[in-house]
Copies of this chain bind each other. A is one copy, B any other.
Amino acid sequence: MAYLDNIHSPADLKKLTISQMKEVASEIRKAVLNRDSLVGGHVGPNLGIVETTLALHVVFDSPTDKIVWDVSHQSYPHKILTGRANGFLTPEGMQHISGYTNPDESDHDFFKVGHTSTSVSLACGLAKARDLKGQTHDVIAVIGDGSLSGGEALEGLSNAAVLGSGIIVIVNDNEMSIAENHGGIYTNLRLLRETNGEAACNMFKAFGFDYHYVADGHDLEAMIRTLQAVKGTQKPVVIHVHTQKGKGYAPAETHREAWHWRVPFHLTDGTPKEQMSGENYNDITYAYLSDKIKKDKTVVAVNAGTPGVFGLDADRRVALGAHFVDVGIAEEHAVAFSSALAKGGCKPIFFVMSSFVQRTYDQLLHDLAINRNPAVIVVAWGGISGADVTHLCTFDIPLISNIPNIVYLAPTTVEEYVAMLDWAVDQKEHPVVIRMPRSVIHEKTAVEKDYSSLNTYRVMQSGTQVALIAAGSFFELGRQVAGELEKQGVIPTLINPRYLTGVDEVLLTALKEKHQVIATLEDGVVAGGFGEKITRFYGADPMKVLNFGAKKEFTDRVAVETLYQRYHLTPELIAADILTALHSK
């Protein structure tokens, strides 16, 4: 890349002419597409923010001036311009540079960020720190329109507006969230776009911000002019920039939702390099949903801005009609809304990723569990993975299972998942959370329909000496451990606990008779999780209990295989640990 090869920091960019910078813009788009086509990643948001990023680094003096990127979905051009172009050009660089801002990578990044709606609050903190230390640099938050709907962003905006000193909020308005936007906020953004920013009814001005509108965020000169005008401001300022998601790559311009994030693809036409195929839980869930809604008009699916995670594409959303509500990125609202839907006699199912259900602890506890409304929540992707540190899905069991009144179910097979879902939807007694399994496995025996007898575990195989209590996605692992133990002459009892929120005291008591070791297996952090409750039950008892699962730690793009070795989560390692315990005094 003629220009990028020579841009090692924003200082190198500042030396160029405007027309050279436009060449840089073109190279950045190529670099973004190069990375995304090879390893997958965020496409549309990054292609849309190129000129804004160039203007920011031309006008401001990063890292003295501090730019905070919301959610990081649009941080690639910034990374490219701050010494990390290699992460977008070479396969080796791609391994080292993540898709999210990360202070460990560069002084130009201030936070590890992968959840939405945090940038304004974080920028407020940096700005207040600047003021207390008597410094004078600029602090800039860059937030997409989709992220604006999250409560934290709104709290941040309200506080930024009364900071009493300078802060700049760039609202990158590409007219969509991951999917389309939902919420009154977007009513106002549309009005502002349609009036070239001149409508008197302006939420940002209402809060007290100075407000500037840039109709074409791809007009580099206009962007630079606007930013120069606010540089060094002593006031809270919003710059509302209208951009095009996917700008410069036809497939991404046309299919904006599909190209928000993309698996590796052929650059020529955008087709994926590997086609996903076969049975999956999204199709299974949708089939259940659409059938159930035909029979029961009170069933309603709720989602908070990530319908794609659940395969709820535009066609399916249309088909579900009034029985699907996307509340935008607003997980807290989604839980309260679902609780009230249930109170109002409907049957809501809120679909949410494990990493994002973290945003709803108080809503789960206060708005839902205390009120014991029979809303259903389906948590996806729960389990140990090689994900970015900001997207780990290992905390949902400690998060949810220690809240009273909630029933957290861990199905192990397709049939059990559907049966649990159907029971949960129709029952009237409990808030129920279901942890969507990760592997598509079919039940060989008949599956129970009624889960109202809480905390009754299911014995799948009876044995002696060792009992394996293997929850949800780790039930198959439990079965493999049983196989390993059998090779060593130990026929263990194998149990599917089904309920993550309680202990089967009758069964656990009965196990004492013929067992000396209990091993619990769960696909998440052990600290505060399911297994510890089993261990506590046997606390004053001679029973030896081993808890298998993830360590309480943040991991960042560490391969699952490595983590399984580290945590002793292979069948062989688990069996060995069990046998050691069995044979020790």
Report the minimum CB–CB distance from A101 to chain B (whole Å).
Answer: 10
A124-146: which have CB < 8 Å to B?
A: 124-126, 128-133
Partner among B125, B236, B399, B585 whose Cβ is within 8 Å of the Cβ of A339: B125
**Among B113, B333, B345, contact of A129 (Cβ-Cβ < 8 Å):** B345
A125 and B158 contact, Cβ closer than 8 Å, known pairs A188-B207, A203-B207, A206-B203: no
When distances are taken between beta carbons in the complex, the residues of chain B under 8 Å from A155 are 149-151, 154, 183, 327-328, 330, 332-333
Query: With an 8 A cutoff between CB atoms, is A244 at the interface?
Result: no
- In the complex, A572 Cα to B288 Cα: how many Å? 55
Instruction: Given A367-B122, A539-B547, decide whether A151 and B332 contact each other with a Cβ distance below 8 A.
Output: yes
A124-B337, A128-B344, A343-B125 given as contacts; is B389 within 8 A of A398 (CB)?
A: no
B152 touches A122 (CB 8 A): no
- Whether the Cβ atoms of A553 and B404 lie closer than 8 Å is yes
With a cutoff of 8 Å between Cβ atoms, the chain B residues found around residue A546 in the complex are: 539-540
**Given A366-B114, A367-B111, A527-B402, CB of A150 within 8 Å of CB of B151:** yes
Q: Which residues of B contact A531 (CB under 8 A)?
A: 536
Interface 9-mer from A84-92, A251-259, A355-363, A419-427: A355-363
> What is the copy number of this chain in the assembly?
2
Q: Please tell me if the beta carbons of B162 and A336 are within 8 angstroms of each other in the complex.
A: no
Interface string of A312-339 (1 = CB under 8 A from B): 0000000000110101101011001111
Interface string of A157-183 (1 = CB under 8 A from B): 111111000000000000000000011
1/0 per residue, CB under 8 A from B, across A525-550: the answer is 11111011101100111101111000
CA distance A436 to B398 in the complex (A): 23
- Other-chain contact of A333, B124, B298, B300, B398 (Cβ < 8 Å): B124
Contact in complex: A183, B159 (CB < 8 Å): yes
The contact of A185 among B122, B158, B209, B363, by CB within 8 Å, is B158
Which residue in B339, B528, B545 is a CB contact (below 8 Å) of A539? B545
Would you call A581 an interface residue if the criterion is a C-beta within 8 Å of the partner chain's C-beta atoms?
yes
- In whole Å, how far is A141's beta carbon from the nearest beta carbon of chain B? 10
**Given A358-B366, A544-B539, are A187 and B161 neighbors across the interface (CB < 8 Å)?**
yes
Asked whether A340 is an interface residue with its Cβ less than 8 Å from the other chain, the reply is yes
Residues of the B chain whose Cβ atoms lie less than 8 Å from the Cβ of A341: 125-126, 128-129
A82-129 interface with B by 8 A CB criterion:
103, 110-115, 118, 121-126, 128-129
- A8 at interface (Cβ–Cβ under 8 A)? no
| Interface pair A344/B129, CB less than 8 Å apart | yes
Task: Please tell me if the beta carbons of A300 and B128 are within 8 angstroms of each other in the complex.
Answer: yes
Residue of B nearest to A209 (CB): B184
Interface residue count for A (Cβ, 8 Å)? 123
How many whole Å from A297's CB to the nearest CB in chain B? 6
Distance from A171 Cβ to chain B, minimum over Cβ atoms (Å):
14
Query: Are B532 and A343 in contact, with the CB atoms below 8 A?
Result: no
Chain B residues contacting A207 (CB-CB under 8 Å) are: 183-185, 187-188, 203
Q: Which of A387-410 contact B (CB under 8 A)?
A: 389-390, 395, 398-399, 401-405
> Do B361 and A358 touch (CB < 8 A)?
yes
Cβ-defined contact, B183 with A332, below 8 A: no
**In the complex, chain B residues whose CB is within 8 Å of the CB of A118:** 336, 363, 366-367
Please encode chain A, from 504 to 544, with 1 for each CB lying within 8 Å of some chain B CB and 0 for all others.
Answer: 00000000000001000000011111011101100111101
Say whether B340 contacts A366, CB under 8 Å.
no
Q: Which residue of B lies closest to A300 (CB)?
A: B132
Please, which residues of chain B bring their CB within 8 A of the CB of A541? Answer: 544
Closest residue of B by beta carbon distance from A332: B152
Chain B nearest Cβ from A298, distance in angstroms: 6
The docked-state distance in angstroms from the alpha carbon of A527 to that of B528 is 7
Q: Does A554 contact B (CB under 8 A)?
A: yes
Q: Are A528 and B398 in contact (CB under 8 A)?
A: yes
Q: Please tell me if the beta carbons of B528 and A344 are within 8 angstroms of each other in the complex.
A: no
A285 to chain B, nearest CB (A): 20
Docked pose: A399 CA to B155 CA in angstroms = 22
* From B133, B337, B389, contact of A159 by CB (8 A): B337
The answer to whether B526 touches A337 (Cβ under 8 A) is no
Q: Note all chain B residues with C-beta closer than 8 A to A527.
A: 401-402, 533
With A155-B151, A155-B330, A158-B149 as contacts: A115 and B532 at CB distance below 8 Å: no
Inter-subunit contact A346/B539 (CB<8 Å): no
Chain B residues with CB under 8 Å of A15's CB are none
Q: A233 near B: Cβ within 8 Å?
A: no
User: Contact between B126 and A340 (Cβ–Cβ < 8 Å)?
Assistant: yes
Given pairs A124-B340, A125-B340, 10 additional interface contacts (CB within 8 A): A111-B339, A132-B298, A149-B158, A155-B183, A155-B328, A158-B183, A187-B207, A201-B205, A404-B554, A539-B547
Q: List the 10 closest A-B pairs by CB distance, nearest first.
A: A151-B151, A125-B340, A129-B344, A161-B184, A184-B207, A402-B528, A158-B183, A154-B154, A121-B336, A200-B200
| Contacts from A to B (Cβ < 8 Å) | 68, 103, 110-115, 118, 121-126, 128-133, 149-162, 182-188, 191, 200-203, 205-209, 236, 297-298, 300, 322-323, 325, 327-328, 330, 332-333, 336-346, 348, 356, 358-359, 361-363, 365-367, 369-371, 389-390, 395, 398-399, 401-405, 517, 525-529, 531-533, 535-536, 539-542, 544-547, 552-554, 581, 584-585
List 16 contacting pairs A-B, 8 Å CB cutoff, sorted by A: A118-B363, A121-B332, A121-B337, A123-B340, A128-B337, A128-B341, A155-B330, A158-B330, A160-B184, A184-B208, A184-B209, A358-B362, A361-B361, A361-B362, A404-B552, A540-B544
